[in-house]
Amino acid sequence: MLSTHPIQYHAHWFRALAARPELDLSVFYCYRASAADQARAGFGVEFDWDVPLLEGYRYSFLSSMPRGFENPSTLQTPTLGQMLTEKNVDAVLVNGWHYKVAWQTILACWKNRIPLLVRGDSQLISPRGRLKRLVKYPIYSSFIPRFDACLAVGTRSRNYYLHYGAHRERIFLVPHAISDVFACVAEQADHRRSELRRKYGFNDQHTVFLFAGKFIEKKRPMDFVRALATATREEPSVAGVMVGDGPLRTACEQFVASRKLPVCFTGFLNQSQIGDAYVASDCLVLPSDGRETWGLVVNEAMSCGKPAVVSDAVGCGPDLVREGCTGSVFPLGDVAALSQIIVQMGRDPSRLRTMGERARAQLRSYSLDAAVQGVVDTVKAVLARRASK
């Protein structure tokens, strides 16, 4: 397994994969991300994740990699091909392909005839240059298959692979999944819901909408506060909580202050803290553009029994958000449409609770078990295909 650096969303997946007797997992990382690196990556504050990222599975950092964040496109290790052959690996899974080491790994696998699996969450509506489009067709093409398996995280990434010519039989579902910890934390904290809402300045009569993420352009946090500004004029019970930090936080705070909106800014909350925000809220809002190729905060919210409102550019929409059942979808950038959804939901909190339970049920198909089994099934199918040649 190749990955850029330890990621909070991957650690539990790697541990679960390592626990499967059919697999002998080794994870290779390009670099370690420092607290300062996290701030530069868009979080806006320096921090270290407060959950274990390197426990429960075998891993190593590539020796030629720098200790700290670099532009992923510049990362490289010339000894990788030799290392893969010396370790006699049965198959390699590359997470993403936006960095040089990924392509060095891909080329090494092709040269040494090592079965190659790639996993990504790219979607067709994300912006990309014409040159990149031209390059991808021969790489994915089913006429000369270059990847033994393409691991899709959902509907849109599957369509992405198909669009560029990947053979249907080589596409496997390995969904984005989160730790079960979120559901457990939410269950344990549910009795504190009223207390947590008071902490944020709201009472049980408010319908609280949550924004959780980096305050950066692609997340469109200003769409959230603008929609709330309109919604509160029609439905005074609606309110907002904004979790996170980043370059656009000041603009959001100034907008809220100038209009005296009922919005609380919590700042960055680490993994052990963010569950309180989900418990205190009634619905997640993710207004992101097409660069939000999935949106794992939707998984987190739904695991806590909360529905989600997402723009039609958010990658997980077709898989997780069923209109009127587990949430709602609005056109990207249409603040008026988002505002009306907030108003309608704010007037019917009992319906929100029902949608939240349906959202939790919907998430079962995108569980950690499903993500692990998807890898096991893929490896078995790839090795069987190679053995039959």
Q: Tell whether the torsion through CA atoms of 128, 335, 38 and 292 is positive or negative.
A: negative
> Would you state the pLDDT for residue 324?
95
Closest CA to 96 of 105, 87, 83: 105
> Would you state the pLDDT for residue 388?
85
Write the CA distances from 87 to 24, 56, 57, 114, 299, integer angstroms: 12, 21, 17, 12, 36
Distance from chain centroid for Cα 377:
22
Q: What does the pLDDT look like over 13-45, one tens digit per residue?
A: 999 999 999 999 999 998 888 888 787 878 888
- Rounded (10°) CA dihedral 214, 217, 218, 223: 90
- Mention every residue, 6+ apart, whose C-beta is less than 8 A from residue 212: 242, 243, 244, 274, 277, 284, 297, 300, 301
Length of the chain: 389
Low-confidence ranges of the chain (pLDDT < 70): 63-79, 81, 126-145
> Would you state the pLDDT for residue 128?
57
> Is 181-366 the same fold as 2-178+367-388?
yes
Closest CA to 276 of 216, 215, 212, 343: 212
For domain 181-366, say whether CATH 3.30.390.30 is its number.
no
> Would you state the pLDDT for residue 140?
52
- Rounded (10°) CA dihedral 122, 124, 125, 129: 90
**Helix or strand holding residue 194 (H, E):** helix 193-199
Q: How far apart are CA 47 and CA 195, in angstroms?
A: 27
> Would you state the pLDDT for residue 286?
98
- Cβ distance 275 to 72 under 8 Å? no
What is the C-alpha R_g of the chain?
22
Q: What does the pLDDT look like over 323-339, one tens digit per residue?
A: 999 999 999 999 999 99
Residues paired with residue 150 on neighbouring β-strands, in sequence order: 118, 171
What are φ and ψ of residue 242, in 5° steps?
A: -120, 115
- Cβ distance 348 to 244 under 8 Å? no
> Would you state the pLDDT for residue 70?
45
Distance from chain centroid for Cα 383:
29
CATH superfamily of this structure's domain 2-178+367-388: Glycogen Phosphorylase B; (3.40.50.2000)
What is the domain partition of the chain in residue ranges? Answer: 2-178+367-388, 181-366
> Would you state the pLDDT for residue 185?
74
> Would you state the pLDDT for residue 63?
62
Q: Could you give the angle at the alpha carbon of 50 between the alpha carbons of 49 and 51, nearest 5°?
A: 95
